[in-house]
Structure 1
Amino acid sequence: MVSSELVTDRRQRPLQVLRLSLTARCNLACSYCQPDHREVSGLLSQSQRLALIEACCRLGVRSLRLTGGEPLLSDQLEPLLEAIRLRRQQPGDPLSQLEEVALTSNGLLLDQARAERLRRAGLDRITLSLDGLDAGVVAAMAGLPEVGEAGSRALAAVREAIVVAREVGFDPRLGALKLNSVIQRGRNEDQLLPLAAFARDQGLELRLIEFMDVGHRNGWSGDQVMPAAEMLRQLQAVWPLEPLGRPAGGTARRWRYRDGAGVVAMIASVSEPFCSDCNRARITADGQLFTCLFASTGLNLRPWLQPHPDAESLVVALRDHWSARIDRYSEERSLQVQTDPERADMAYLGG
């Protein structure tokens, strides 16, 4: 019998956050992600997903984020959330250790009824994505036709998703509703201040993300990265800020607006790497474990999941793989970017 334990890797980083992908499909084709709209074969079953969540909780995971692709495309999202909710309520169940269950979505499918179902099923937090407030920019960033109404419809859908998420109880004042924006030089850097003004008006924490070299199809180059320091200077010139820092294991460095209009955050994986305390594991929709967002290959977990999950062997496999982890790609980017093999794409990894 394998007992519960806290596991650390070779750099003494604990396993605390699990990002579990439900699908590789997406209804957008964002320039920084470039999904191919195809589903992977061999999607995990609900029992397999729950077995993976349980094994990770036994090794120290306290935060679960459900991702895609676009997770709202999965018809298994609500049943999985409900199963997790019931187990979180059981004293002694490994899932009772989960402090939060979160979701990352582009918001296009989040209407009132869906938001209510997600809330009832036990979802604690939603992070929505929006990369501009100009319809043409939204279309360009999302891979939509730049002529016609596609950009306007997408922008309206995300705005409405923010409204309905708040109405059903995802309170941004409690951190239960946030907004992600990737800022890419040459594409949407002119949207930085409008997005910040919008988030301030909505009472949302805006998380500004540097354009990252995830995968091999987004045409990444360093000159397209708008560093967090530059974003901060532009914001400071309009709205004075005071630093709140970055919590251990967190991805975002946060600042408070001095006028009391909320918080803004930066995820600066390129210019200010945070590999030193990275505590996140990613499991793809077909059961591959990745211990770095920039990895090329993962560990296939299916041998411990089929024909039925083997709980004890699964814990051992996860523990051994995490214990051997040495990943710190962002800190070594300048040495590796020219020689790395093709890396897994963001839509497959779950971002």
Structure 2
Amino acid sequence: MSLTTTCNARCWFCHNEGSASPIEVEEDNSLKHKKHICSTEEYIMLVKGLIRLGISRLYFTGGEPLISPKLEPILNTIPYHSAEEFKVVLATNGVLLNKKINSLKQKVIDKVKISLHAFSNDTMWKIERLKCIDEVKESIRKAHTLFPEVEINTLLMPENQHEILDIINFAREIQIDIEILELVWTDYNRPTYTDKRLSTNDLASELIKQGGIEKVNSSGIGVNLRVIDFENTSVKLMDNALGSSYVGTCQSCPLRSACVEGFWSICVDPEGFAQPCLLRNDLRIDLKPYLQNEGDLENFIPLWVGAFMKGEPMPGTLLKERV
């Protein structure tokens, strides 16, 4: 669930979960955002409905979700639960985490994913247009003591290639897992994708030389991961060559050759639209009409997801509008 497209960073690679690109600007140089017309109450109804449906994971993202005033009221309505029932995951760039952490630690958050794309202020500026790397590192250390699970998220790119081992060693030092991603193609990065995307293969070889034990994690959804295990840390590496999980609609998709993530989640944007694929805006559906009466969402979502999985026409999506 993307609660906002607003962010305090300007990461060049950000796809905003399929919403407006953060580097797309208006004539006055202000950021172009999606309208925030999905209310807090509608998000709460959506969350409650998904929990009743047996959702396995609720993942709150943005933009930067800690900027959104909707986050904490939504979290307040989520009942206590075990991680085996479902997980509540918060994805953040960590910049505001120290300021919010005392309030957030009271919430039912099972996992915090914190982006760490740099290890110095100079590199952070090149990637995010921010210079607060020490604050982000400190937020990671503090979060590790307060939440059940914390994981670092890092995109491998030319700008941070020289610091990637420093970032991994930081994760190993404080004994938390880290996921290293390869750049995913989108319309936003089409001009620079070939030059900017780096493979994780050489990094995997180096980590194995350092004593890491390799295995492949095939979860059945999304992209398969190469995992390098150390004593107290797992380094998860995205690798296009390992393949991904695809479903019925994917088989005839005209963008299949460009897709590396496969199918792994349903994304809801700040306007209340859901989409099962970040590359296909034609598959978006407005969920707000299904939030007016309790039970409508539970009746619609299984039909909608099921049709996508089988490659059938999706309810609520006009066939003539599909690519």
In which range does the TM-score fall when normalised by the shorter chain? 0.7 to 0.9
2:308 to 325, 335, 346: 325
Percent of matched pairs sharing the same residue: 22
Q: Structure 1 unaligned runs (5+)?
A: 1-19, 90-94, 145-149, 329-340, 342-351
Q: Kindly provide the amino acid, as one letter, of the partner of residue 153 in structure 2.
A: N
Write the mapping of 1:66-85 to structure 2, written as runs, cut at 5 A: 66-85=60-79
Aligned ranges for residues 173-188 of structure 1 at < 5 Å?
176-184=149-157, 186-188=158-160
- 2:199 matched to 1:216? no
1:257 CA drift (Å): 3.5
- Given that 2:50 and 2:298 are in contact with CA atoms closer than 8 Å, whether structure 1 keeps it comes out as yes
Select the residue among 298, 301, 305 that pairs with 2:287. 301
Q: Distance in 2 between matches of 1:208 and 1:96?
A: 24
Q: What TM-score do you get using the length of structure 1 for normalisation?
A: 0.72
TM-superposition CA deviations, 1:180-212 (whole Å, max 9, x none)? 00012x322222211111111121211000011
Code of the aligned partner of 2:6: R
Q: For 1:267 and 1:58, locate their aligned partners in 2 and report how far apart those are by CA, in whole Å.
A: 32
Taking the aligned partners of 1:215 and 1:117, their CA distance within structure 2 comes to 37
Distance of 1:190 and 1:123 partners within structure 2: 33
Structure showing greater relative contact order (alpha-carbon pairs closer than 8 Å, 6 or more residues apart): 1
- Matched residues in 2 for 1:217 and 1:233: separation? 28
Find the partner of 1:141 among 127, 150, 160. Answer: 127
CA distance in 2 between partners of 1:196 and 1:124 (Å): 23
CA drift of 1:128 comes to 0.2
**Which residue in 2 is equivalent to 1:226?**
198
- Structure 1 Cα separation of the partners of residues 189 and 89 of structure 2: 27
1:39 Cα deviation from its structure 2 partner: 4.1
CA shift, 1:125, in A, is 1.0
1:119-138 maps to which residues of 2 (within 5 A)? 119-138=105-124
Quick one: which of 13, 25, 32 aligns to 1:32? 13
Q: 1:166 aligns with which of 122, 144, 164?
A: 144
Q: Out of 275, 281, 287, which is 2:272 matched to? A: 287
Q: Residue 197 of structure 1 aligns to which amino acid in structure 2?
A: N
Task: Kindly provide the CA deviation profile for residues 98-125 of structure 1, in whole angstroms up to 9, marking residues without a partner as x.
Answer: 52111000000011x5112112021111
Contact between 2:176 and 2:232, CA under 8 Å: does it hold in 1?
no
Distance (Å, rounded) in 2 between the aligned partners of 1:96 and 1:232? 30
Instruction: Give 2:258's aligned residue.
Output: none
Aligned to 1:265: 236
C-alpha spacing 1:133/1:102, structure 2 compared with 1 (3 Å): same
Structure 2: 5+ residue runs without aligned partners? 15-20, 24-30, 248-262, 312-322
The verdict on how the C-alpha distance between 1:211 and 1:60 changes in structure 2, with shifts beyond 3 A counting, is same
Query: Match for 1:103 among 85, 90, 94?
Result: 90
Distance 1:189 1:245 in 2: 24
What is the TM-score normalised by the length of structure 2? 0.78
Q: 2:155, 2:180 within 8 Å by CA — same for their partners in 1?
A: yes
Shift of 1:250: 6.0
Q: Which residue is equivalent to 2:250?
A: none
CA contact under 8 A between 2:224 and 2:243: conserved in structure 1?
no
Code of the residue aligned with 2:245 in structure 1: it is C
The aligned counterpart of 2:42 is 48
Number of positions where the alignment pairs a residue of Structure 1 with one of Structure 2 = 284
Report Cα offsets for 1:302-349 as digits up to 9, x if no partner: 2223xxx22322233322221221599xxxxxxxxxxxx9xxxxxxxx
The one-letter amino acid of 1:280's match is S
1:155 is matched with which residue? 133
CA shift, 1:218, in A, is 6.4
- Code of the aligned partner of 1:102: V
CA spacing shift, 1:220–1:320, aligned 2, 3 Å: farther
Displacement of 1:256 = 4.3
Structure 1 Cα separation of the partners of residues 44 and 198 of structure 2: 39
- CA RMSD, Structure 1 to Structure 2 (Å): 2.8
Q: How far 1:261 sits from its partner (Å)?
A: 4.0
1:219, distance to aligned residue in structure 2 (A): 3.7
For residue 23 of structure 1, report the CA deviation from its aligned partner.
Answer: 0.7
Q: Which of these residues, 238, 243, 246, is aligned with residue 276 of structure 1?
A: 246
The SS at the match of 1:64 is strand
Checking the alignment, whether the CA contact within 8 Å between 1:57 and 1:97 is kept in structure 2 is no
Say whether the 8 Å CA contact 2:208–2:228 is kept in structure 1: no
